[in-house]
Structure 1
Amino acid sequence: MSQNVDKIAPSYPLFRTDEYKENLANKRAMYEERHPQDTIDEVFEWTTTKEYQELNFSREAITINPAKACQPLGAVLCALGFEKTMPYVHGSQGCVAYFRTYFNRHFKEPVSCVSDSMTEDAAVFGGQKNMFAGLENAKALYQPDIIAVSTTCMAEVIGDDLNAFINNAKKEGHVDQDFPVPFAHTPSFVGSHTTGWDNMFEGMARYFTLKTMEGKEPGKNGKINFVPGFETYLGNYRVIHRMMKEMGVDYTMLSDPTEVLDTPADGTFRMYSGGTTMDEIKDAPNAITTVLLQPWQLEKTKKFAETTWNHDVPKLNIPMGLEWTDALLMKVSELSGKPISKSLEVERGRLVDMMTDSHAWLHGKKFALYGDADFALGMTKMLLEFGAEVTDVLVNHANKRWKKACEEILKASPYGQTATVHIGRDLWHFRSLMFTNKPDFMIGNSYGKFIQRDTMYKGEEFEVPLIRIGFPIFDRHHLHRMTTLGYEGAMYVLTTLVNAVLEQLDKETRGMGTTDYNYDLIR
């Protein structure tokens, strides 16, 4: 099929033409050394069995689709949340290209980040020369107020000392002595993207406050600090802003990338936009306390706030769903002395009304989910509040304490009695669970679509539809602007879940003259 200006077919219909079908068949026959289709189908069927699941869960030496990303990805997101800050990754250029494209595809926005392009010579002799040139060039070309440095595997394996390199760069005049260059070591071979965010934030807090604590004391500025953690739903930053403003609470969001990751198309490119100011992070120790919105992912931040800022960090869960949003607002009211606003009480009532309207459709529906630790915990809690049943919760990078906390939440509800919590597992483990446990839906990021495809290949009755909530979302647009926190976020999640259930019901009942006696106009 030849393309011409009057008729241009995109890839999907183009590759289904007879010409392309023939080309692809010839390619398979001549070059791929492919096994017979009967053998492929036989192996596929075996991978859907309980026998294979037991073998799958006993593997020790390989990870397949890990359900996490690496530390510097989180460090870059954290740095983007500070005003006029350039994320700088000490390591290879390819790593930074990965981080930028990962965020590009999720946020549909340009993402600024630089690398000092370590190559083979730096891997042998160290990357100090790269950092000298990199810091000088980044400062001259992009004119940031702050350069926030993190590392890749290459720099960590050879043991590059960021503190020494940065100090040497300043001594030799590559950047001014007083130019802010906070840093964090973010080795990709341990932890995950959430660890990297935590490490980078602790690095920022340490750089701007550790040596200037004299005269600072909790409560001096009358504000409350909010630390979001690795958060990619821009609506979640905005809903915290809105709720605090409606209550009249003085607060500071420590790392807020909403503006730079959601710039308008008005003809002006904004390399920097919004973010937490340098003065705000310097003043953070004077706050009443620091509230961690994703506490399981912010262990270093918590320790620093408690030991250096002398803050009594409240023990709260991620504010997802009704009860945990209530807990956040009541704690904020207690700390600030400001009552919960009438508008938030009305919003809460609307959520309860929505839950009442939809509970009959969600009751008894079975959900499996995967994602980051705090998100998975909050989603589990919310599903139980909605009356849905949870079959499996999988988090690759959670610890045993988190697992115990999640199991206690499940045991406290009649809808979580048969659930299993999996830590240190990957999406290939999750795939096995979808075949053997057969939930009605799975909740997770875009990578789950391939598991949905596999379940459908076994047969339509085995299909487990994916509900896209999490990070990254590459194959749907604008979901990153949505909200999952607060009453507003619970409304969005509830709407998404119940409409997925109803969409599936319509799909199953639209057979003309067979199942359409349940193809109802009103649900």
Structure 2
Amino acid sequence: MAKVTHVKKACTVNPLKMSQPIGAALAFMGLRGAMPLLHGSQGCTSFGLVLFVRHFKEAIPLQTTAMSEVATVLGGYENVEQAILNIHKRTKPEIIGICSTGVTETKGDDVEGYIQLFRERHPELASLPLVYVSTPDFKDAFQDGWTKAVTRMVEVLVRVPAPGAVRDPGRIAVLPGCHLTPGDLEELRTIIEDFGLRPSFLPDLSRSLDGHIPEDFTPTTIGGIGVDEVATLGEAAWAVAIGEQMRPAAEALRTRAGVPFRLFPRLCGLAAMDEFIMFLSAASGRPVPAKYRRQRGQLVDAMLDGHFHIGGRKLAIAAEPDLLADVAGMLREMGAEITVAVTTTHSPVLSGIDAAEVLIGDLEDLERLAGERGCDLLVTHSHGRQAAARLGIPFFRVGIPMFDRLGAGHLLTVGYRGVRDLIFTISNLVIADAEQNHQPTPESWRLTEEDGAADGAQQKGQAA
């Protein structure tokens, strides 16, 4: 079990952590026709807007209450009211998700009270869903904001089933964590549907930020799960929570609608996917489709191929807790040593990571410790590229933001195919780095390349 240590420094030198409000805003972007609204200054919203545009390379719907110094001191009701009225008039959203920021939380704005007062003053907008979530950016992190937003959606939008209501045995409510990309969600949708089940994702970034071009321009989100579908999640036979961060949302759905849930801390790795596939088989009453048996065999083959290059590597990784546990866990299973692990916020999943220590710190801590401990593989988001260059080690980008490469929204870390391709990508990075630095490939540490390939083939035959 890893020891979790909170680094105490006077300041964050090279930030790893992103704030709660933008995590919550991204969750609202998984709803159809949504407009996230940050209750704070224009600068807070501008930062989040730029970050998401650079990462997804898409138009991002995000608005602000534009709090000034005077409004902050006197209270922000008028700003909230005017923002909601303007958004409704200009964009006709299906839902507005309101996220607080540090400045309004410090002032102590009663936004729930503001919403109640707004309802009284504007009865013509009584049917417009308004969901508020408290996300001060002076505490917690991106993952926490996502968790709170999804939990609040469940509490406000899900309809309580009538007594004696019969559940739909073919329907699954899926609560994905923020560490999953739109591409991950699309892969999971395909897998679940192949078992004859009908998944409803909350939130569903695979339909709103997957990079498709709509027929008509809309100022709100262009896809995602509809508010009407969210309301009926209580009819699902099962809820699947992916990532420890989604436990509060799953518990809220169980409390509100009585839906039993199954939590999967990880979906990146052979054993993790086996567990998920067997759950789907049991829930649907169907055998595992032949295509997934074949994909599983391909993953096992990829693990045999990739362990020559990943095994023995000293890994330095920095990410949100669930993403850290997911990717680092898979690389540990491939034989890598988790030498340095840095994350953003506390989570129960951290103690289960197979490392001596997990630091809650920044990218300066990652770079310093990676150099001191001789790490030869670095994994984090795009802000770690300078550290990898200074250390002279291979660098794999994962998480948000990823602004210097295309396809961030389609990076796969789940499913047998996704894990297989992830192993190939990281192995190829290691091979390319060795070639660039004229180092021997892992097979030739003791053998020639031909003998190494033959040895690998022999191991595959023995495993088969």
TM-score, normalised with respect to structure 1? 0.79
1:203 aligns with 2:129: no
Q: 1:194 maps to which residue?
A: 143
Alignment of 1:286-301 (within 5 A): 286-295=235-244, 297-301=245-249
Q: Contact between 1:218 and 1:288, CA under 8 Å: does it hold in 2?
A: no
SS at match of 2:257: coil
1:435 aligns with 2:376: no
The alpha-carbon deviation at position 354 of structure 1 amounts to: 1.5
1:353 aligns with 2:301: yes
Q: Contact between 2:340 and 2:358, CA under 8 Å: does it hold in 1?
A: yes
Q: Tell me, in whole angstroms, the C-alpha distance in 2 between the residues paired with 1:99 and 1:500.
A: 30
Q: Tell me, in whole angstroms, the C-alpha distance in 2 between the residues paired with 1:213 and 1:373.
A: 34
Deviation string, structure 1 residues 337-377 (Cα, Å, up to 9, x no partner):
23221111111111111112222222222222110111111
Q: Contact between 1:87 and 1:114, CA under 8 Å: does it hold in 2?
A: yes
Q: In terms of Rg, which structure is larger? A: 1
1:452 aligns with 2:388: yes
1:285 to 228, 234, 240: 234
1:67 to 16, 34, 52: 16
SS at match of 2:264: coil
2:402 to 461, 473, 486: 473
1:92 aligns with 2:28: no
The alpha-carbon deviation at position 115 of structure 1 amounts to: 0.9
Q: 1:182 maps to which residue?
A: 131
The alpha-carbon deviation at position 175 of structure 1 amounts to: 5.5
Q: Tell me: CA distance 1:311–1:174, structure 2 relative to 1, closer, same or farther (3 Å).
A: closer
Q: 1:402 maps to which residue?
A: 349
The alpha-carbon deviation at position 469 of structure 1 amounts to: 2.0
Deviation string, structure 1 residues 123-174 (Cα, Å, up to 9, x no partner):
1111000111111110010111111111111111111112111111121117
1:121 to 54, 70, 73: 70
Deviation string, structure 1 residues 40-75 (Cα, Å, up to 9, x no partner):
xxxxxxxxxxxxxxxx99744333233211111111
Q: Contact between 1:368 and 1:439, CA under 8 Å: does it hold in 2?
A: yes
Higher deviation after alignment, 173-182 or 266-275: 266-275
SS at match of 2:177: coil
Deviation string, structure 1 residues 182-235 (Cα, Å, up to 9, x no partner):
11111111211111111111121111126x343476834541111112146221
Q: 1:489 maps to which residue?
A: 418
Q: 2:93 maps to which residue?
A: 144
Q: Tell me, in whole angstroms, the C-alpha distance in 2 between the residues paired with 1:254 and 1:63.
A: 33
SS at match of 2:137: coil
Q: 2:277 maps to which residue?
A: 329
Q: 1:40 maps to which residue?
A: none
Q: Tell me: CA distance 1:216–1:375, structure 2 relative to 1, closer, same or farther (3 Å).
A: farther
Deviation string, structure 1 residues 407-437 (Cα, Å, up to 9, x no partner):
xxx2xxxxxxxx4332322211111111111
Q: 1:15 maps to which residue?
A: none
Q: 1:12 maps to which residue?
A: none
SS at match of 1:130: helix
- The alignment's C-alpha RMSD in Å is 2.5
Q: Tell me: CA distance 1:420–1:190, structure 2 relative to 1, closer, same or farther (3 Å).
A: same
1:166 to 115, 120, 124: 115
Q: Tell me, in whole angstroms, the C-alpha distance in 1 between the residues paired with 2:260 and 2:366.
A: 38
Q: Which protein has the bigger strand share?
A: 2
The alpha-carbon deviation at position 331 of structure 1 amounts to: 1.5
The alpha-carbon deviation at position 464 of structure 1 amounts to: 2.4
Q: Tell me: CA distance 1:251–1:259, structure 2 relative to 1, closer, same or farther (3 Å).
A: closer
Deviation string, structure 1 residues 55-105 (Cα, Å, up to 9, x no partner):
x99744333233211111111111111111111111111111111110000
Q: Tell me, in whole angstroms, the C-alpha distance in 2 between the residues paired with 1:388 and 1:73.
A: 33
The alpha-carbon deviation at position 494 of structure 1 amounts to: 0.2
Deviation string, structure 1 residues 489-512 (Cα, Å, up to 9, x no partner):
20121011110111011112289x
Q: Tell me, in whole angstroms, the C-alpha distance in 2 between the residues paired with 1:71 and 1:57.
A: 18
Q: Tell me: CA distance 1:491–1:57, structure 2 relative to 1, closer, same or farther (3 Å).
A: same
Q: Contact between 1:397 and 1:423, CA under 8 Å: does it hold in 2?
A: no
Q: Tell me: CA distance 1:218–1:474, structure 2 relative to 1, closer, same or farther (3 Å).
A: farther
1:498 to 407, 411, 427: 427
Q: Tell me, in whole angstroms, the C-alpha distance in 2 between the residues paired with 1:148 and 1:377.
A: 29
Q: Contact between 2:161 and 2:235, CA under 8 Å: does it hold in 1?
A: no
Of structures 1 and 2, the one with the larger relative CO (CA 8 A, separation 6+) is: 2
SS at match of 2:131: coil
Q: Contact between 1:84 and 1:145, CA under 8 Å: does it hold in 2?
A: yes
- Give the counterpart letter for 2:399 in structure 1: G
Q: 1:426 maps to which residue?
A: 362
Identity %: 26
Q: Contact between 2:195 and 2:284, CA under 8 Å: does it hold in 1?
A: no
Q: Tell me, in whole angstroms, the C-alpha distance in 2 between the residues paired with 1:60 and 1:420.
A: 21
Q: Contact between 2:95 and 2:129, CA under 8 Å: does it hold in 1?
A: yes
SS at match of 2:239: strand
Q: Tell me, in whole angstroms, the C-alpha distance in 1 between the residues paired with 2:306 and 2:20.
A: 39
SS at match of 1:225: strand
Q: Tell me, in whole angstroms, the C-alpha distance in 2 between the residues paired with 1:226 and 1:310.
A: 15
Higher deviation after alignment, 318-327 or 358-367: 358-367
Q: Tell me: CA distance 1:437–1:126, structure 2 relative to 1, closer, same or farther (3 Å).
A: same
The alpha-carbon deviation at position 388 of structure 1 amounts to: 2.4
Structure 1 residues not aligned, in runs of 5+: 1-55, 411-418, 456-462
SS at match of 1:447: helix
Higher deviation after alignment, 213-222 or 483-492: 213-222
SS at match of 2:158: helix
TM-score, normalised with respect to structure 2? 0.89
SS at match of 2:317: strand
Q: Tell me, in whole angstroms, the C-alpha distance in 2 between the residues paired with 1:373 and 1:265.
A: 32
Structure 2 residues not aligned, in runs of 5+: 454-464
Q: Contact between 1:136 and 1:174, CA under 8 Å: does it hold in 2?
A: no
Deviation string, structure 1 residues 418-467 (Cα, Å, up to 9, x no partner):
x4332322211111111111111111111111212332xxxxxxx22311
